[in-house]
Amino acid sequence: MGKIITISNQKGGVGKTTTIINLGYALSLLEKKVLIIDLDPQGNATSGIGVRLNDSQPTIYEIMMTNLDIKSALIKRNNIDLIPANIHLSGATIELINEPNREYKLAKALDKIKDDYDYIFIDTPPSLGLLTINALAASDEVIIPVQCEFFALEGLSQLLKTIKKVQSSINNKLVLNGVILTMYDIRTNLSKEVYEEVKKYFEQKLYKTVIPRNVSIAESSSHGISVIEYEPKSSGAISYMNLAKEFLQQVSIEV
Ligand SMILES: Nc1ncnc2c1ncn2[C@@H]1O[C@H](COP(=O)(O)OP(=O)(O)OP(=O)(O)O)[C@@H](O)[C@H]1O
Ligand SMILES: [Mg+2]
């Protein structure tokens, strides 16, 4: 049975989308069947894997707001499948407010497709609003990318509180898969200090593999491909391959 994993952090620009695209691609190279759900109105996961939407292509917005079958929105690209998003999704938060079961729209849609994949990753916007709640409600696990910077842990208590709230009231099977440090700079003491600080807080939940700050990663997303395709020998590509191997060894325990 497929495992559904949300990648979330309400801080913007910490590497959520980059991690979805590259971890997803790395896992597909390891023979896993991967689906990416773009649940961010910015549509960065969609454009980041090189998909340009035309007007007739259904997106996750239509899937959540109507009874349209999720398979009608499926886009296949190389080894990875995608349910795309675009700016229309920004209306969903308001349109869903008075709907019954508004937190479960995504979970319901994914039920029909869950068993077709090994892993389904959900990319969330930088907020803890209804879209992120839908993602957490639909998921078995959550991964938190944390950018290596001075206030790395700032705001995380709010995210953990949200996860706990979802666990107790909406989805009690949800567990924390792990925390991934992104944009790690081996030349700075700050990165080492942040690693130690996050390690103290999350202990064995922190992935040993860190994702370095690497220009090939940034360039690859503007080309609409993973860094593994773009520059397979780069430190970014090697790290995401290592992350995928560590991910497959990960055993989930509760937050
Ligand atoms: N390890 C890295 N090295 C260099 N650049 C990176 C790295 N990871 C991400 N980036 C770049 O940083 C920017 C932000 O990354 P990304 O879009 O993945 O963050 P995000 O958390 O999804 O942002 P948002 O909250 O807006 O959705 C992008 O331009 C991306 O290419
Ligand atoms: Mg993003």
Tens of pLDDT, residues 171-181: 999 999 999 99
Model pLDDT, residue 39: 98
Q: How confident is the model at residue 10 (pLDDT cuts 50, 70, 90)?
A: very high
**How would you classify the pairing of strands 80-83 and 75-77?**
antiparallel
Measured CA to CA, the distance from residue 162 to residue 6 in angstroms comes to 13
**What mean pLDDT comes out for the span 233-245?**
98
Residue owning the nearest CA to atom 16 of ligand 1: 15
Q: What percent of the chain has pLDDT over 90?
A: 89
Model pLDDT, residue 186: 87
Residue owning the nearest CA to atom 29 of ligand 1: 218
Model pLDDT, residue 251: 56
Measured CA to CA, the distance from residue 35 to residue 60 in angstroms comes to 13
203-212, pLDDT tens digit by residue? 999 999 999 9
Model pLDDT, residue 78: 78
pTM over 0.95: yes
Measured CA to CA, the distance from residue 138 to residue 70 in angstroms comes to 14
Model pLDDT, residue 154: 86
- Residue 253, pLDDT > 80, answer no
Q: Does 3.40.50.300 match the CATH number of domain 3-249?
A: yes
14-67, pLDDT tens digit by residue? 999 999 999 999 999 999 999 999 999 999 999 999 999 998 999 999 999 998
End-to-end Cα separation, the chain, in angstroms: 22
**What mean pLDDT comes out for the span 107-127?**
96
Residue 82 pairs with which residues in a beta bridge? 36, 75
Which residues have CB atoms below 5 A from the ion given as ligand 2? 16-17, 44
Ligand 1, CB within 6 Å, residue ranges: 12-18, 40, 42, 44, 126, 182-183, 211, 213-214, 217-218, 221, 236
139-168, pLDDT tens digit by residue? 999 999 999 988 888 889 999 999 999 999
> What is the 18 CA–ligand 1 centroid distance (Å)?
6
Q: Closest ligand 1 atom, CA of 213?
A: 3
Does residue 153 sit in helix, strand or coil?
A: coil
Measured CA to CA, the distance from residue 59 to residue 139 in angstroms comes to 19
> What is the 20 CA–ligand 1 centroid distance (Å)?
11
